Amino acid sequence: MRFNEKELISLSRQPSEMASELTMRGPKKGDVFKKRLVKLVVNFLFYFRTDEEEPIGALLLEQCRVEREDSLTFTIIFLDEAERKYQFECDTEEQCGEWTDSIIKASYEFMRKNLIFYRTEIHKLTGKDPLEQYGISDETRFQVSNGLQLKARETSSL
Amino acid sequence: MKLNERSVAHYATCDSPPDKTGFLFKKGERNTAYHRRWFVLKGNMLFYFEERDSREPIGVIVLEGCTVELCESAEEFAFAVKFDCAKARIYKMAAENQAAMESWVKALSRASFDYMRLVVKELERQLEDIQETQVGVSCKPKSGRRPPAARSRSGASSSSSSSSSLSSASSAPAVSSTFSGQKNALEEAHSRENGVMWSKAPVPISNGSIEGASSCASWDGSEDSGINMSIGPDGVRAPPVPPRRRGASLENPFSPGTGCFSKLHDWYGREVQEIRAQWLESQ
pLDDT of residue B85: 85
Closest of A98, A106, A116 to residue A156, by C-alpha: A106
- For A153, other C-beta atoms within 10 Å of its C-beta total 11
Report the residue of B13, B16, B67 to disrupt the A interface, i.e. the one with the largest count of A CBs within 10 Å.
Answer: B16
DSSP one-letter string for A89-142: E-SSHHHHHHHHHHHHTT-HHHHHHHHHHHHHHHHHHHSS-TTGGGT-TT-GGG
State mean pLDDT over A111-132.
Answer: 92
Contacts with A11 from chain B: Cβ below 8 Å: 62, 64-65
Half-sphere exposure of B217 (CA within 13 A, CB side): 13
Closest of B13, B94, B95 to residue B47, by C-alpha: B13
In angstroms, rounded to a whole number, what is the distance separating the alpha carbons of residues A128 and B247?
A: 30
Residue percentage of chain A with pLDDT more than 70: 91
With an 8 Å Cβ cutoff, are A130 and B126 in contact?
A: yes
Q: Does B213 touch chain A (CB under 8 A)?
A: no
DSSP helix/strand/coil, A24: strand
Size of interface A-B (CB pairs under 8 A): 225
**Do the interacting molecules here have an ipTM over 0.85?**
yes
With an 8 Å Cβ cutoff, are A135 and B153 in contact?
A: no
Q: Is the CB of residue B46 less than 8 Å from the CB of residue A108?
A: no
Closest of B52, B51, B60 to residue B4, by C-alpha: B60
Give CA B234 to chain center in angstroms: 24
State mean pLDDT over A134-156.
Answer: 64
pLDDT of residue B202: 38
Q: Is the CB of residue A133 less than 8 Å from the CB of residue B161?
A: no
In angstroms, rounded to a whole number, what is the distance separating the alpha carbons of residues B133 and B125?
A: 12
Contacts with B44 from chain A: Cβ below 8 Å: 42-43, 108
DSSP assignment letter at B252: B
Whether A8 shows a pLDDT value over 90: the answer reads: yes
pLDDT of residue B27: 92
Sequence-ordered alpha helix ranges (H) in chain B: 5-13, 98-109, 113-137, 148-152, 179-195, 261-282
Residue B23 pairs with which residues in a beta bridge? B38
Q: For every one of its 283 residues, what pLDDT tens digit does chain B have, with 9 covering 90 and above?
A: 999 999 999 999 998 889 999 999 999 878 889 999 999 999 999 999 999 999 999 999 999 999 999 987 778 899 999 998 888 889 999 999 999 999 999 999 999 999 999 999 999 999 999 988 877 665 544 444 343 443 433 333 333 343 334 443 333 333 334 444 444 445 544 444 433 333 333 333 334 333 333 333 333 333 333 344 444 444 444 565 555 444 434 444 444 444 455 555 666 666 677 777 777 777 6
pLDDT of residue A151: 42
pLDDT of residue B139: 52
The pLDDT tens digits of the residues spanning A68-87 come to: 999 999 999 999 888 889 99
In angstroms, rounded to a whole number, what is the distance separating the alpha carbons of residues B151 and B147?
A: 6
Q: Does B50 touch chain A (CB under 8 A)?
A: no
pLDDT of residue B254: 45
pLDDT of residue A99: 97
> For the packed helices B113-137 and B179-195, what is the interaxial angle rounded to 10 degrees?
10
With an 8 Å Cβ cutoff, are A3 and B59 in contact?
A: yes
At residue B28's C-alpha, the angle toward residues B27 and B32, to 5°, is 85
Task: Kindly tell me the burial class for residue B259, based on how many C-beta atoms sit within 10 Å of its own C-beta (0-12, 13-18, 19 or more).
Answer: middle
pLDDT of residue A110: 94
Report the residue of A114, A142, A143 to disrupt the B interface, i.e. the one with the largest count of B CBs within 10 Å.
Answer: A114
In angstroms, rounded to a whole number, what is the distance separating the alpha carbons of residues B202 and B200?
A: 6
Reported residue count of chain A is 158
In angstroms, rounded to a whole number, what is the distance separating the alpha carbons of residues B177 and B79?
A: 13
pLDDT of residue B263: 56
Give CA B70 to chain center in angstroms: 28
Q: Which of B:114-173 have CB within 8 Å of A?
A: 114, 116-117, 119-120, 122-124, 126-127, 130-131, 134, 146-147, 149-150, 153, 156, 158-160, 162-163, 166-167
Q: What separation, in Å, do the N-terminal and C-terminal C-alpha atoms of chain B show? A: 90
DSSP assignment letter at B204: P
Closest of B157, B152, B94, B108 to residue B126, by C-alpha: B152
In angstroms, rounded to a whole number, what is the distance separating the alpha carbons of residues B241 and B224?
A: 12
With an 8 Å Cβ cutoff, are B158 and A132 in contact?
A: yes
Closest of B244, B178, B158 to residue B207, by C-alpha: B244
Whether A37 shows a pLDDT value over 80: the answer reads: yes
Closest of B264, B257, B90 to residue A4, by C-alpha: B90
DSSP assignment letter at A54: S
Q: Give the 3-state secondary structure percentages of chain A, helix then strand then coil, rounded to 5.
A: 35, 25, 40
What pTM was computed for the model?
A: 0.66
